């Protein structure tokens, strides 16, 4: 009986620690989990009835990964869940662009919510100025994603020469060089 008490006390301690997590943290964590569950449902429209191998694996592992992400928002479990959701599309035949775009937007919102939850203090309160700046960043990223998605749709019927791929890769490299953080001197 003494050994069982040790485990119960440890579990109770972990549950008491959850009370110290602020409401804003729970909002961000639950927003991330909710949008990921929505993306999973949208990526596997038939559920277990029509699940392929990748979808079945995702339906089993994504909830476990999201549970881990709820308690450790700075872990890579959320990214692994996103990868599994993307793999769900491999076993499916023709997939509509609207469905893929909706899943992508849901995963973008989830990723941003997890990121903000990981950056903020677990027990602290987020200032209104932080929510305002986060909202502006969210709008800019969503607008950029929608514009980029629109360009992809507009150019999807256009066949470009293979040399254009080199220009695209160089553009991505330049973009990464410009956007990557630098050491402050």
What would the two tokens of residue 77 be? 């479990």
pLDDT in tens, 8-55: 777 777 766 666 777 888 888 899 999 999 998 888 877 656 667 777
Phi–psi pair at 181, nearest 5 degrees: -65, 150
**What is the rounded average pLDDT for all residues in the chain?**
78
Residues of the chain above pLDDT 90, percent: 6
> How far is residue 84's CA from residue 168's CA, in Å, rounded to a whole number?
27
More confident residue, 172 or 72: 72
DSSP class of 9: H
What DSSP letter does each residue of 56-94 carry, written as one string? Answer: HHHHHHHHHHHHHHHH-TTSSHHHHHHHHHHHTTTT-SS
The neighbour count for residue 133, using CB atoms within 10 Å, is 11
pLDDT in tens, 133-165: 777 877 887 788 778 877 877 777 766 666 666
| CA 78 to the chain's CA centroid | 6
Q: What is the mean pLDDT of residues 99-110?
A: 86
The SS3 assignment for 50 reads: coil
CA distances from 125 to 18, 22, 157, 184 (A): 15, 7, 49, 29
What would the two tokens of residue 31 be? 């927003």
pTM summary value: 0.67
């Amino acid at each position: 009986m003494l050994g069982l008490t040790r485990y119960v006390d440890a579990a109770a301690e972990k549950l008491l620690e959850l009370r110290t997590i602020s409401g804003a943290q729970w909002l961000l964590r639950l927003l991330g989990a909710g949008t990921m569950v929505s993306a999973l449902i949208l990526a596997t429209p038939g559920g277990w009835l029509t699940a392929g191998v990748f979808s079945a694996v995702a339906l089993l592992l994504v909830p476990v990964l999201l549970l881990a992400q709820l308690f450790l928002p700075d872990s890579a479990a959320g990214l692994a869940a996103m990868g599994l959701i993307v793999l769900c599309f491999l076993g499916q035949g023709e997939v509509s662009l609207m469905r893929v775009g909706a899943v992508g937007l849901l995963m973008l919102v989830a990723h941003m919510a997890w990121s903000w939850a990981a950056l903020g203090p677990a027990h602290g309160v987020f200032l209104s100025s932080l929510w305002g700046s986060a909202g502006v960043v969210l709008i800019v990223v969503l607008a950029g994603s929608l514009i980029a998605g629109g360009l992809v749709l507009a150019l999807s019927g256009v066949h470009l020469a293979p040399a254009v791929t080199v220009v695209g890769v160089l553009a991505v490299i330049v973009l990464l060089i410009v956007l990557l953080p630098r050491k402050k001197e």
